[in-house]
Chains A and B, each alone.
Chain A
């Protein structure tokens, strides 16, 4: 089903349907995680992958056109690259232990240690939360900082632009010097290129 959805996404020309199908793809992979007993990961995938990112993609879609332009390049080279990368990945999986094997590194390294220690050290029934917030507290702090930084980045890129343009307009209104006008016009033109080309594409 994942493969069918992926192929449908590639074949599709309507961007709206594509966004919806990528949401479906996330939901299906969330189901995959549930069957692998990774409930926390499945939860995150369903909430972030199928929920938020679909909404954000729709928000982006509203800024651009509804349909993808047919590509003028030959698909042979990308197809070749994809096949080589896929073959390398599949070759890599040949060395992996069988699914659920008891002697797999995932089962023998730190996991049994955490499982044995967390009931009396942390006392939280959900071991995943215990590991995330307590044993791996630094990592989670780092992740939170990453989320925060990403948010700041998006704000600076997207909404900071409007503030600057408005300030430029105010400057233009207050000081009527010819030099300032030229500068403002130039910066306005520079600022305008981004969204406009996006709209025409």
Chain B
């Protein structure tokens, strides 16, 4: 999409905003609608938009495929390790009281934050990885075909 000047300029503005919004949805999920799943998708959209408007090579220079694949696994690990931590400190699996035993409510806050972070990382990784997998197969279609 080399000659779509307006698209390219608007995308440059939007990518940062979309990422900021993803972080807002991620870390404000306790108070407003949203959470890890939605934030992960929105974060992935930022990269996908960049990839669609510029090119796959450019977005893969920013966010290489091997990092994407590791991130997808890292999220599940963050989630699982949070549970293991509470198991090892003598509580039930995924009982967030373990994170702050003297103040269970704070523990719940930390736990939810960590777990949602894990969900968000995995969803971002998987969505971007699927996009890469599809986009890498494409014969590059010319703009006139649309």
Provide the main secondary structure of the chain B interface: helix
A138–B95 CA distance with the chains assembled, in angstroms: 10
Q: Nearest chain-A residue to B134 (Cβ)?
A: A59
Q: Are A147 and B35 in contact (CB-based, < 8 A)?
A: no
CA distance A186 to B69 in the complex (A): 31
Stretch of A48-56, A77-85, A106-114, A167-175 at the chain-chain interface: A48-56
> Inside 8 A of A143's CB, which chain B residues have their CB?
37, 119
A144-B122 in contact (CB<8A): yes
CB closest chain-B residue, reference A16: B146
Interface residues on B, range: 35 or more
Measured between beta carbons, the chain B residues less than 8 angstroms from A154 are 129-130, 133
A62: chain B residues within 8 A (beta carbon): 138-139, 141
Beyond A48-B41, A195-B137, whether A148 also contacts B72 by CB under 8 A is yes
Interface residues of B in 85-127 (CB under 8 A from A): 93-94, 96, 104-105, 108-109, 111-112, 115-116, 118-119, 122-123, 125-127
Task: Note all chain A residues with C-beta closer than 8 A to B133.
Answer: 154-155, 158-159
Chain B positions near chain A (C-beta within 8 angstroms): 25, 29-35, 37-38, 41-42, 44-45, 48, 52, 69, 72-73, 75-76, 79-80, 83, 93-94, 96, 104-105, 108-109, 111-112, 115-116, 118-119, 122-123, 125-127, 129-139, 141, 145-146
Give the B-binding residues of A (Cβ under 8 A): 16, 39-40, 42-44, 47-48, 51-52, 55-56, 59-60, 62-63, 66, 120-126, 128-130, 132-134, 137-138, 140-141, 143-145, 147-148, 150-152, 154-155, 158-159, 162, 195
